[in-house]
Structure 1
Amino acid sequence: MANHPLNGSERECLKDAQPIGKADPNERLEVTMLVRRRSHDAFEKHISALAAQGASAKHIDHDEFTKHFGADSADLAAVHAFAQKHGLSVVESHEARRAVVLSGTVAQFDAAFGVSLQQYEHDGGTYRGRTGPIHLPDELNGVVDAVMGLDNRPQARPSFRTRAQGNVRWTARAAGASTFTPVQLASLYDFPQGDGQNQCIGIIELGGGYRPADLKTYFASLNMKAPSVTAVSVDHGRNHPTGDPNGPDGEVMLDIEVAGAVAPGAKIVVYFAPNTDAGFIDAIGTAIHDTKNKPSVISISWGGPESAWTQQAMNAFDQAFQSAAALGVTICAASGDNGSGDGVGDGADHVDFPASSPYALGCGGTSLQASGNGIASETVWNDGANGGATGGGVSSFFALPAWQEGLRVTRAGGAHSPLAMRGVPDVAGNADPVTGYEVRVDGHDMVIGGTSAVAPLWAGLIARINAIKGAPVGYINPHLYKDPLALVDITKGNNDDFHATAGWDACTGLGRPDGKKVKDAVS
């Protein structure tokens, strides 16, 4: 009998949603179950040592990771037996990812997990969802960490903004503003000489697609060879261009073009998944444990406010990012484009997840003005409520990491207070659409900004550093905080409730990169 509530699995319906009836009992769906890690205590010690050792840290290979820190075979067998008992099919089972994907009907999953799946209607459409917790039987209590996929609401949004269209504030500034190719920004940020040869950059996408002809045209315009780009399907997601350059295609093409231009020669693998909590975590897990392509850095430009996530989901992502750290894979995540409130609209401060995970490199946004071959000024990106602003603030979920201890956060009016929880972002880069990135999407040459551009910019820098070093730098957050002079501090501007200040702040983190110094700090 399913009688143990799964800790952190509680769901509420979207605030503007109304139930319109029971979900079709015959509808088929797939659900991802994540089991506990083998040797949890040993893994915690390994991660702590990794953070402390810096450039001398030893990453482990995939086989060693699976052997020591994957799922225990007995736990996977327990999930398989549970599935058989309830007539559910095992679609996939992954020891390294600690994941089992099950297929069945709504009626079967209702009975298996003690839930009642409903159809909900809201301003954005309809979704299948539930309220309250998921329940587990005795034999899985304490074995299963998360169950995702019962609810198929859109979980995340892309963090990109196209250049001004009728925004008075933007238009007034745009007259004297320059836009940039990724290559020009890499030069302005003094990225080290080199390329991305023998590196793979993973990119997570939850919709949209790319057209090879556009990539060929774009990179030819930069006098560069187009990168090798491979699409990987996760949970039936696929490369599916919509033809709308202002839709998710803009995100996909921005990510590929920025990363590919900054790290020429790197292989790019795009993991396409449905925009659900299950699709998102499965894409990340697939990328981290991809033993064929072996990305050394992963760029994530999708996210949402922490308040929109279940605790079990945030824990599951955080554990996946810890696995990435152990394997030497760097995670770069956009901090969002909706200022200190992250678009929630309740008057409170919110940070964007997954950028708020301490094992992700949270990437915030600036507005950059160039003069000749140099930077004339750089401030916090904030174009107001309609124009967008860099996300940033203080997590309400993740504890203060050791490498952020002693920092202070500056709020509106100049009030300072000790940073008590995980602060976001860690680093920054140009994100203002007015001074944005020249890209090509669905046959259109466009200018796009947003923190979505900063994540692949940093991913490209890290791929270039990995190529120079001949080994992955991996989890770099602690090392950047030990050597903050590797970044150029941004001290002017705000993202509404938080203000830039000398040192780390909740707008641009430690600052924008000085590429050569970043290489030295993490090598």
Structure 2
Amino acid sequence: MKVLSAISVAIGLLAGSLAQAAPAQFHVEKDARVVDLGLAPQSEVRSVTLSLAVKNMAALEAYAASTVDPSSPNYHKFLTPTQFAATYGQDATAVAQVVNFLQASGLTVTKVYANNLLITVRGTNAQLASVFGSPIHTFQSLGQTYEAPVSAGSVPTQLAGLVKGVHGLSARPRLRSNAVKQPNATASALLQATSAADPSAATAPGRYTTADLAKQYNITPLYSAGITGKGKTIGIATLAGYTPADVFAYWKSVGLNVNTNRITDILVDGGPPGGAAADGADETTLDIEQSGGVAPDANIRVYMAPNTDNGFIDMFAAAVNDNIVDTLSVSWGASEVFYAQADYDAFHAVFLQAAVQGIPVIASSGDSGAFDINRNYAYPGCTTTLTVDFPAADPLVLAAGGTTLPVTLRFNAGGTVTVPTERAWGWDYLRDWAVAHLGQSTYYSALFPVGGGGGVSVDFARPSYQSNLAGVANSSAGQSLICSGAALGTTGGYTDLLDQPANFAGRNLPDVSLNADPESGYGLLYQGSWIYGYGGTSFVAPQLNGIFTLIASGKNGRVGLPHPQLYSAFKAQGYGAGSPFRPVSAGTNLYYSSKASFNPATGLGALDVANLARTLGVSL
């Protein structure tokens, strides 16, 4: 049955609640692992993206909310990019003013996006330094060499009020894939895994396919009703290439007969370097296999960009302004503390555009449990610090969390570990075994922090769809990232890299969760061969992408901004009969406990997809 009556109440305050807080700045200049190699080649040509101010921001946020409010005259009246630009983008005169200034400064304008909010330009390092106010140097950190300004760049005074930010002056690749494999041989590789709940299952944990996912989360009734994604298009945003033969072989191996022309590749800003063999190609491969396996008759558009700040935002902007995809997911992210307010503003505007065009944006919540930053700054060299992943932290992005399905593990070093029921994904359940068989230091070096991302944003205020919701948390006290000299490559004492506000009423994530633990995870067909024991919230984001594509196909229309619809349904139904949500009431994501209410480990819980489809208006 439909449960939408409470949406109008839930979204009445949405517009005001989407405002961001002042970001907690990470003190990158204090990281001694970053070495300044001096002035970068002055004649080298690079690209950057300028973001322009949104007109009528409050009206835009209100309109986004109204498109999923059944009581509003704007319900499901999704806009085109042209309509968006006319109302919320800068007008032609303002755009021309920016373009003329950039060209007069010697820069080449390469693209003005259809939303009239983003402009890409090319210029030499010398020109970029002159226009944006900081010399550009070459830096090295942890084996990576990149170029970046020596100080924060600035918007020229001639463009003040029109241009909000400049993105890509730093070319440091900070985004990472949220895919995880089973523990390696050092941590005693997995010998055998059998399901505690269903030992006779045809597929073993660690080898699951999209067919197993459909059975686990009740997707099958949609297929029985003939809903397979036909007529809809999946959008994948990624920072690496892939080999098409792998994804088609995967679909064939799981019994799917798909259209051989279903995939279209779009290279943004020249695309990622390295092709199908580059780092992260496994991520792109699994994104396509999983989303396309869940919605086998949908088309797929793969937007691929370089791993830079401007590449990341241009990738989303390209997909949203093309307005062909009905859903869009990404499985790359970085700790929210790495971003500045101007970055947040630019991304948030693109996500708002997606919302008013009816396109759900879905992102993996990270694979470091509640300690997202500690994937970059490992414990015990650095203190554990509660942090969340971006872009999942943005209140307009559906944050995909992770669980562990029932499983019994048998290890080379002896002993077994059993997970008896679906729980929050956190490898704390392996701690006792690992310490006993391998030692505490190996546990921390190989198994910590690993788990489904979740927690409280300190950069985005709590959205109204999470107001008056039991289990929502404020940020914890005492959250500073302090690293030893040894961890930062110096002989000095301790350095404080980050201090976060306590008791901040921030956006909680994830929103919903599915199986993500590699120990109860999936098979990946990659570079012509099957690899088993894969997982991460990287799988959950494209799976949710496929699920919402199915629902859009069943509705014969776009789903729109999902959050108000999901949270309204939860507030009305909880975990009762016919609810789209299943409680996950065991385990932690290394800090937050999962329970039969909203929580920052598994969000609203796991999904019953057939019930979700009915709730969102699909007849089954």
Rg: which structure is higher?
2
Where 1:483 maps in the other structure, the secondary structure is helix
Q: Deviations over 1:139-183 (max 9, x none)?
A: 311111221011100121000012333264773783656231112
Match of 2:460 in 1: 398
Give distance in 2, aligned partners of 1:162 and 1:230.
Answer: 28
Shift of 1:39: 3.5
Q: Deviations over 1:70-92 (max 9, x none)?
A: 33212211211221221111111
Give distance in 1, aligned partners of 2:110 and 2:99.
Answer: 10
The alignment covers a number of residue pairs equal to 506
Counterpart of 1:199 in structure 2: which amino acid? Answer: K
Q: Deviations over 1:368-404 (max 9, x none)?
A: 1389xxx972111112553421110000100100010
Decide whether aligned partners of structure 1 residues 47 and 389 sit closer, same or farther in structure 2, where only a CA change above 3 A counts: same
Q: Does 1:308 align with 2:394?
A: no
Identify which range, 234-243 or 26-35, moves more after superposition. Answer: 234-243
Give distance in 2, aligned partners of 1:279 and 1:54.
Answer: 39
Counterpart of 1:49 in structure 2: which amino acid? Answer: S
Q: Does 1:508 align with 2:545?
A: no
Give distance in 2, aligned partners of 1:48 and 1:219.
Answer: 37
Match of 1:379 in 2: 423
Counterpart of 2:309 in structure 1: which amino acid? Answer: D
Q: Deviations over 1:377-433 (max 9, x none)?
A: 2111112553421110000100100010123347999xxx99821001001101011
Q: Tell me which of 360, 366, 383 is aligned to 1:330.
A: 360
Where 1:112 maps in the other structure, the secondary structure is helix
Q: Tell me which of 376, 388, 403 is aligned to 1:366.
A: 403
Where 1:315 maps in the other structure, the secondary structure is helix
Runs of 4+ in 1 over 6 A off after TM superposition: 7-11, 410-413
Q: Does 1:249 align with 2:277?
A: no
Shift of 1:117: 1.2
C-alpha contact 1:365 1:429 (8 A) present in aligned 2: yes
Show the 5 A alignment for 1:483-494.
483-484=569-570, 485-494=579-588
% identical equivalent positions: 32
Give distance in 2, aligned partners of 1:431 and 1:54.
Answer: 37
Q: Tell me which of 319, 331, 334 is aligned to 2:349.
A: 319
Match of 2:216 in 1: 188
C-alpha contact 1:331 1:360 (8 A) present in aligned 2: yes
Decide whether aligned partners of structure 1 residues 10 and 25 sit closer, same or farther in structure 2, where only a CA change above 3 A counts: farther
Match of 2:614 in 1: 520
Match of 2:233 in 1: 200
Decide whether aligned partners of structure 1 residues 219 and 54 sit closer, same or farther in structure 2, where only a CA change above 3 A counts: farther
Where 2:139 maps in the other structure, the secondary structure is strand
Decide whether aligned partners of structure 1 residues 136 and 452 sit closer, same or farther in structure 2, where only a CA change above 3 A counts: same
C-alpha contact 2:48 2:168 (8 A) present in aligned 1: yes
Shift of 1:236: 0.5
Give distance in 1, aligned partners of 2:298 and 2:27.
Answer: 40
Q: Tell me which of 416, 425, 428 is aligned to 2:510.
A: 425
Q: Tell me which of 308, 313, 318 is aligned to 1:286.
A: 318
Q: Does 1:156 align with 2:175?
A: yes
Counterpart of 1:198 in structure 2: which amino acid? Answer: G
Give distance in 2, aligned partners of 1:406 and 1:504.
Answer: 11
Counterpart of 1:218 in structure 2: which amino acid? Answer: Y
C-alpha contact 2:474 2:505 (8 A) present in aligned 1: no
Match of 2:61 in 1: 44
Shift of 1:54: 7.8
Shift of 1:48: 3.5
C-alpha contact 2:47 2:120 (8 A) present in aligned 1: yes
- Name the TM-score, length of structure 2 as normaliser: 0.77
Decide whether aligned partners of structure 1 residues 475 and 353 sit closer, same or farther in structure 2, where only a CA change above 3 A counts: same
C-alpha contact 2:329 2:361 (8 A) present in aligned 1: yes
Decide whether aligned partners of structure 1 residues 38 and 463 sit closer, same or farther in structure 2, where only a CA change above 3 A counts: same
Q: Does 1:275 align with 2:307?
A: yes
Ranked by relative contact order (alpha carbons within 8 Å, sequence separation 6 or more), the top structure is: 2
Counterpart of 2:569 in structure 1: which amino acid? Answer: D
Structure 2 gaps of 5+ residues are 1-21, 196-203, 378-382, 409-418, 429-443, 477-501, 571-578
Shift of 1:239: 8.3
Where 1:84 maps in the other structure, the secondary structure is helix
Give distance in 2, aligned partners of 1:201 and 1:99.
Answer: 24
- Name the TM-score, length of structure 1 as normaliser: 0.91
Decide whether aligned partners of structure 1 residues 136 and 434 sit closer, same or farther in structure 2, where only a CA change above 3 A counts: same
